[in-house]
Structure 1
């Protein structure tokens, strides 16, 4: 069996297929900070971990390197999985929950990581050591510092080792056609901690871990108040348009939404420190607003835009009517496997943060097989290059249909808000929403003085 750090043409062929599916799965993939990754130094990537397999795929599909990953050892239990995982350049790391007797096997893994870095192949491991279903950075473990120091002490790297913090953000963890943003941060120079390591290894590991945590947090949405987590989540979206205006940020590009959300969270944290009653008062107002939304069956995305005028309602409805043949085509070809897969994943996978990964992988395989079968079945009807056009059109029609159906649901909700509610109920709902925004605005503006 070849060395895992060596270039694999098979890996790149599979990656090309996965990258295509990955690009279709997300509405938009935004990458910032690629310039922070050195091309002539050994690198350890250290991303936050919130979405199972989709997190490593974020790096696989946005970087040219063939990165080697460390993953929890329990996925290697199956003898069938092991060759496949090795082909994907994944090696095991053992935790206490895998059995105390297995912790010693990490020494082999750590020796292997040193060899990987010595051959200038990037390494990636998740410093939190587990994923979470919250937009928060968990306390980091010491695996990254330990590997980094051992690699530096080995003396075989040739050049200084760097750690690249990576912030990964999903506008929605579970739904296809969401936004994915990957932020590659400025490198941490491991050599700057070597003197401390030689004097006190344990202290140096903690220092490097804390430095990594400080670098990683600003690259992601990091809500640190666990008690009021849902409140922060609600306000960061509710206040987004107002924050964009206050900071003179355009709604486009999407990166401004990410920055706006970070600013809102920072201001909420400051307001909570300055006034002990702030979060409770805000919670009361949000609960009132959420209650009205639930009562009137109106969702937030219908309230984020101005109420529809009759002319807008007519023109938008006409647009959906004109698009209905294309929607019907895409729906007929994709609806059954989509709903079967979604129901299967939701019913069988208990960990909600694993569902997107299962849906992506199973969907990639199922839809690809379906397209090939349809092409073979209907291919006789299409001459020459029309078969290629058909094969390209099928996945695009699925994406197009999914987006339009989602847009239709928002439009239908906006119709209900504008024409299905009495003026009194509509006003009550909009006033309650504005009350929350104004309350935050007043607290935030006081911070500027």
Structure 2
């Protein structure tokens, strides 16, 4: 079935095929762990709300959760081009109009809200990023009223018989744009709309605020939330350092475990700020100095995990990378065209939080297209069907090998930096150790 706005809630076979491919690609880009998948009952009318940090990736992360076809609400300006609007509608996205779009445009929301009722009744799942736009920070901003308005108006239209629940989803990225970064998807406890309906009937404005407050708290429970925005960088560094210390003392740390370590540390810092502002400010100043130290020495917090590295193991890893370099070079040459195109496309966006989204979307097209073209060219040159098939198989394997080789190379480079500091600059190395223990 072709997807149009009037039937957007209906199941689409073509969309489902595309979804499998996108889900696979997303899981190639990020190492994804999901917690709480069992909490929502997909047979109920559900609105999923996520903390919006990483452009399109946040929506794709929610899409990947289940074998389903949810409908997404997005800002209206991306629908202005007719071709774009058709593509976005096929991708099961509906526009939501804001005051800045003009009063006449706002009136179009009535039709959109009616369509969301169809979506909820059909149990598709409705997905909204209630902060309105993305921001690459681990903090929840003030929620827009759209999610509350949709929930209450849907309940009102059906005489409070729907039983809508709002599902908080938290995202925690180890890095927003780097391939192979971890992504933890945390699904929280549902927030029921029903307890707020009486208040809505008497005072809609109060009901909006009360529901949004509860949704906001539910979202903060499943994400990292740094309240002190003026010292955001320092608090985030301290949270990262707490995880580094934990990893140095524990052999294997799962992503949910690491998330809890950072969340606990952020909570401790909030308590310190309340109970001992002077002690908090002193710690912040020390962390500022340590961040400056890291910048001067071109170190990232994650590289501090290599402080206990042995010289022997570092040499062995160097030899392994040296021996396998010809395989890396062959693999990289085979990937250079699609890699170059995806990087060029992402470089055209001034907002660097679009980088992963653009690379993923462009890569969905460029990699299979170039794999096919290169295989055809190889077949013409070689004249051997067997060799051509073998070459085609090596292409996706090359992508896997390049990723892992590159990952190990950067890890080895970090080890050498820290080892060099430990051997040749012991004073700086002591500063490094002291910083880890902040």
- Normalising by structure 1, we get a TM-score of 0.89
Separation in structure 2 between the aligned mates of residue 387 and residue 434 of structure 1, nearest angstrom:
53
Q: After alignment, is 49-58 or 251-260 more displaced? A: 251-260
In the alignment, structure 1 residue 125 sits paired with structure 2 residue 115? no
Separation in structure 2 between the aligned mates of residue 90 and residue 327 of structure 1, nearest angstrom:
40
Q: After alignment, is 325-334 or 392-401 more displaced? A: 392-401
What residue is the counterpart of 1:300 in the other structure?
Answer: 301
Separation in structure 1 between the aligned mates of residue 389 and residue 23 of structure 2, nearest angstrom:
19
In the alignment, structure 1 residue 237 sits paired with structure 2 residue 240? yes
CA contact (8 A) 2:48 2:128 kept: yes
Distance change (3 Å), C-alpha of 1:210 and 1:250: farther
Q: Shift of the alpha carbon at 1:229?
A: 0.5
What does 1:182-261 correspond to in 2, within 5 Å?
182-243=185-246, 251-261=252-262
- SS of match in other structure, 2:277: coil
Q: Shift of the alpha carbon at 1:254?
A: 1.8
CA contact (8 A) 1:94 1:103 kept: yes
Q: After alignment, is 264-273 or 323-332 more displaced? A: 323-332
Q: Shift of the alpha carbon at 1:191?
A: 1.4
In the alignment, structure 1 residue 59 sits paired with structure 2 residue 59? no
What residue is the counterpart of 1:366 in the other structure?
Answer: 366
What residue is the counterpart of 1:144 in the other structure?
Answer: 147
| One of 21, 31, 34 as aligned partner of 2:25 | 21
Deviations 1:343-393 (A, max 9, x none): 4422x2112222221121112211121111112222465977876665454
- SS of match in other structure, 1:74: helix
What residue is the counterpart of 1:397 in the other structure?
Answer: 398
What residue is the counterpart of 2:429 in the other structure?
Answer: 430
What residue is the counterpart of 2:16 in the other structure?
Answer: 12
- Normalising by structure 2, we get a TM-score of 0.91
What residue is the counterpart of 2:99 in the other structure?
Answer: 96
> Structure 2 regions of 5+ residues with no counterpart?
none
Distance change (3 Å), C-alpha of 1:227 and 1:169: same
Q: Shift of the alpha carbon at 1:327?
A: 1.4
Separation in structure 2 between the aligned mates of residue 39 and residue 344 of structure 1, nearest angstrom:
37
Q: After alignment, is 109-118 or 279-288 more displaced? A: 279-288
What residue is the counterpart of 1:280 in the other structure?
Answer: 281
State the superposition RMSD in angstroms.
2.4
Q: Shift of the alpha carbon at 1:109?
A: 0.8
CA contact (8 A) 1:42 1:157 kept: no
Distance change (3 Å), C-alpha of 1:260 and 1:392: farther
Separation in structure 1 between the aligned mates of residue 313 and residue 254 of structure 2, nearest angstrom:
25
Separation in structure 1 between the aligned mates of residue 429 and residue 276 of structure 2, nearest angstrom:
26
In the alignment, structure 1 residue 169 sits paired with structure 2 residue 176? no
What residue is the counterpart of 1:445 in the other structure?
Answer: none
- SS of match in other structure, 2:129: coil
Separation in structure 1 between the aligned mates of residue 101 and residue 390 of structure 2, nearest angstrom:
49
Deviations 1:309-357 (A, max 9, x none): 33112211122123223312221122344245324422x2112222221
Separation in structure 2 between the aligned mates of residue 158 and residue 226 of structure 1, nearest angstrom:
41
CA contact (8 A) 2:306 2:418 kept: no
Separation in structure 2 between the aligned mates of residue 198 and residue 289 of structure 1, nearest angstrom:
54
Q: Shift of the alpha carbon at 1:188?
A: 1.3
Separation in structure 2 between the aligned mates of residue 76 and residue 362 of structure 1, nearest angstrom:
20
Deviations 1:176-233 (A, max 9, x none): 2111111111111111222222222221121111110010111111111110011112
Deviations 1:258-279 (A, max 9, x none): 1111111111111222222234
CA contact (8 A) 1:118 1:157 kept: no
CA contact (8 A) 2:40 2:167 kept: yes
Deviations 1:19-66 (A, max 9, x none): 22212111x111111111103211111111111111110011222110
What residue is the counterpart of 1:375 in the other structure?
Answer: 375
In the alignment, structure 1 residue 32 sits paired with structure 2 residue 38? no
| One of 42, 45, 52 as aligned partner of 1:49 | 52
Deviations 1:393-435 (A, max 9, x none): 42342233123213212312322332x347462x323322332
Q: After alignment, is 160-169 or 384-393 more displaced? A: 384-393
**How many pairs were matched up?**
433
Q: Shift of the alpha carbon at 1:122?
A: 1.1
What does 1:148-159 correspond to in 2, within 5 Å?
148-155=151-158, 159=162
Separation in structure 2 between the aligned mates of residue 79 and residue 276 of structure 1, nearest angstrom:
55
Distance change (3 Å), C-alpha of 1:233 and 1:140: same
CA contact (8 A) 2:307 2:415 kept: no
> Structure 1 regions of 5+ residues with no counterpart?
441-449
